[in-house]
Chains A and B, each alone.
Chain A
Amino acid sequence: MKKKIAAVFIVVCMCIGMSACADSPEKNSDASSTEESSGDRETEAADGKYKIGFSQCVMNHPFRIAMVDSFKEVVGDYDDIESVVVEGNGDVQTEITNIESLIQQNCDAIVVSSLSGTSIYPAYKEVHDAGIPLIIAASGCATEEEDAYNFYDSFVSTDEVEMGIAAAQCANDLLEGKGNVVMIRGVVESTNSMNRYVGWNQEIPNYPGIKVIAEQSAEWLRLTANEVMANILQANDDIDLVYCENDEMALGALEAIRDADREDEMVIVSMDGQQDACEEIQNGGAFKVTITNNSDMKEAVSAAYAMAQGDSIDKRIILPYEIVTEDNVKDYIDKNY
């Protein structure tokens, strides 16, 4: 008897756990309308609306959440778009299942934002084979040499390699061509970190006076960056600039620098344009620059909408990044937060 109760309890727990992990309310609400007959997808759906699906890989970062919020806001402005949002919980298998469910639901266009590198390509192929337009938003994307290049219709995002280059230029400007740089990277195998790293390394050889004296990973996290920076501060007496690949880490590093009482010695260059980072720039401490990744989904939605109507669009749509410094931080905060 006890064992039966135990079994039931476990099943209930698992169900709660899984539903909490995998589902978003939007996914459920549209599950009922999946069994439409699959006619010509290029034409308008039966209820006079275009159905656009958005698969977000994970919802644990402000940037990813901002994208979903922006997506919902933008589609709200169209009268004839019906949207479905699914979330992959950071797991590529879940992402693929989600994208398959979007295909099942007869979406007229699908927007995918994934951090899973090449592992997600099979899902791109499935969308392509189903004849549904595929837009990739703010994530890594196949290059021309790869097969997967043929599976999507448009890639809409900031160029993160360009952001890396911009960061190196900012560092050079702040240091006036000479100084020691500490670099704190995100999860090194992630697409964002790789692209930002490539851009930075492309540009930095142009500035022979700038020396990267430490290069460590803090996994995108504030707490980890706090500890890593505290250690780096122990080992290096002469640091002029700290470059972090995202704001969360920059804020953790800043805390460590303050604890060590060395805020006057160095400046910080970072990426993302998060609200608390902008506030630090406004306060005028060591935090000098953050380069913003664009979470605006307007272009992606309009591309998806155009494709759903049968129009063709550019294979690559580059969103502008913005360099937020003391000079424009006030405008940036007013505009975005």
Chain B
Amino acid sequence: MKKREITQMIPVAMLIILMIAGSFLSANFLTVNNFSNILQYAVESAFIAIGMTFVLLIGEIDLSVGSVMAFASVIAAKMALAKQNIILILLVVLLIGLVCGIINGFIITQLRVEPFMGTLVMMMVMRACTFLFTGGGPLTGSVDASFKQIIKGNIANIPIGIWYVVIAFVIAYLVTAKTRFGRHVYAVGGGEETAKLFGVRVERIKMMVYAVSGILAALSGLLVTARIGIGEPRTGYDYEMTAITICVVGGVSMNGGKGGVQGTFIGLMVVSMIKNLMNLMNIDVNGQPIVTGIIILVTALVVTRKAKGSGRELVREI
């Protein structure tokens, strides 16, 4: 038991080491302002990475998140530019995410298509829909200042973006750790057949997981629109890769059942901090991917070590 507690601290230690290293590399890194900045710009990645965590936990993958995000983003932009009610926009965005997620879930559970293929198709189709909807270029115009407040405001003197990140992770943690749905997600990831024997309705869990992933992707699309005030169809390219990277760096296994949202938070911080440090230190643009790659590799090596062997706990937990 004690050993387990220690190994759980490794990712946190890694994060602290990176923060200390960062503070030596740039004097402007370890400041309240800068961290407020990092968190505010991490909201979209946070939402998508949390959705991806659930998908990875059941041992599958969702490649469509970037495209769903882009589609929701341009629809939200169209409505915001037409001065529609914010609540209505939010509902439409949630609906887009839900429908996309359910279609993904349907293709995978009912048509028995490999998740990689099913969500890849969804990724292509939604991206095309996005471009068809805007006619290629961005949707421009001016949105209400109140619409921009979705991401620009402050609550209790703390930028709203930070609230989103914190709330999203707290909810995600409670869902995975304290609810039956959360336990079933781990069970499905640990082994579908075993889970079935224990009475878990695997297909329904999968549907719900894809719905969560779709909804979170669509919500981050709404946030992007609020941030930039236009409908940019190129939004969210490669976000599925970013999200998977964040999860894996945080120790979420791509084989399912192992890891958790705490890890995802660490992964999010690591990836966001690297991006931030690159800009602060003004590292040569052409060399940036090398630095990113090495830091991600080192973190992943250290962090994923602890995930090994923890699968034994699964059966007892159900």
Contacts and interface: CB of A to CB of B under 8 A. Distances in A.
Nearest to B288: A217
A213 interface: yes
Nearest to B277: A231
A223 interface: yes
Interface string A221-232: 111001110111
Given A65-B136, A231-B280, A259-B152, A10 B233 contact: no
Interface string B103-141: 000010011110001000100110011011001111010
B47 to A, nearest CB: 14
Contacts of A306: none
A150 interface: no
B8 interface: no
Interface residues of A, number: 43
Interface stretch (B29-37, B53-61, B256-264): B29-37
B113 A6 contact: yes
A28 interface: no
Given A60-B137, A62-B137, A226-B228, A10 B121 contact: yes
Contact of A62 (B129, B138, B282, B286): B138
Contacts of B137: 59-62, 64-65
B285 A222 contact: no
A223 B236 CA distance: 10
Contacts of B37: 230-231, 234
A215 interface: yes
Contact of B285 (A14, A16, A217): A217
B63 to A, nearest CB: 13
B69 to A, nearest CB: 11
Given A14-B121, A16-B125, A17-B128, A230 B113 contact: no
A13 interface: yes
A46 interface: no
B136 A59 contact: yes
Given A14-B121, A17-B124, A222-B230, A216 B111 contact: no
Nearest to A22: B128
B28 A235 contact: yes
A288 interface: no
A255 to B, nearest CB: 7
B279 A228 contact: yes
Most buried by A among B28, B125, B137, B276: B137
A26 interface: no
Contact of A185 (B121, B132, B138, B285): B285
A2 B28 CA distance: 58
B234 interface: yes
A60 B224 CA distance: 18
A61 B129 CA distance: 16
A259 B132 CA distance: 32
A313 interface: no
A19 B140 CA distance: 26
A199 interface: no
A231 B276 contact: yes
Contacts of A221: 232, 234
Nearest to A14: B121
Contacts of A231: 34, 37, 275-276, 279-280
B140 A275 contact: yes
Interface in B193-230: 224, 227-230
A235 B121 contact: no
Contacts of A64: 136-137
A213 B28 CA distance: 15
A252 B228 contact: yes
B255 interface: no
A64 B28 CA distance: 39
Contact of A215 (B41, B152, B234, B285): B285
Contact of A188 (B117, B224, B276, B286): B286
B27 to A, nearest CB: 9
A21 B136 contact: no
B113 A223 contact: no
A226 B233 CA distance: 16
B264 to A, nearest CB: 20
Interface in A56-71: 59-62, 64-65
A312 to B, nearest CB: 35
Contact of B124 (A21, A213, A222): A21
Interface string A185-209: 1001000000000000000000000
A20 B121 CA distance: 13
A57 B246 CA distance: 33
Nearest to B123: A17
B125 A20 contact: yes
B140 A276 contact: yes
Interface in A229-284: 230-232, 234-235, 248, 252, 255, 259, 275-276
Nearest to B276: A231
Contacts of B292: none
28 contacts: A5-B111, A6-B113, A10-B117, A10-B121, A17-B121, A20-B131, A21-B128, A59-B131, A60-B131, A60-B234, A61-B137, A188-B286, A214-B279, A214-B282, A215-B282, A217-B288, A222-B228, A223-B228, A223-B232, A226-B228, A231-B280, A232-B279, A232-B280, A234-B33, A234-B34, A235-B26, A248-B232, A255-B229
Given A17-B128, A217-B288, A228-B279, 4 more contacts: A5-B111, A59-B137, A213-B282, A216-B279
Which 8 pairs between the two chains have the least Cβ-Cβ distance? Answer: A231-B279, A20-B128, A6-B111, A59-B136, A17-B124, A235-B280, A217-B285, A62-B137
Interface of A: 2-3, 5-6, 9-10, 13-14, 16-18, 20-21, 59-62, 64-65, 185, 188, 213-217, 221-223, 226-228, 230-232, 234-235, 248, 252, 255, 259, 275-276
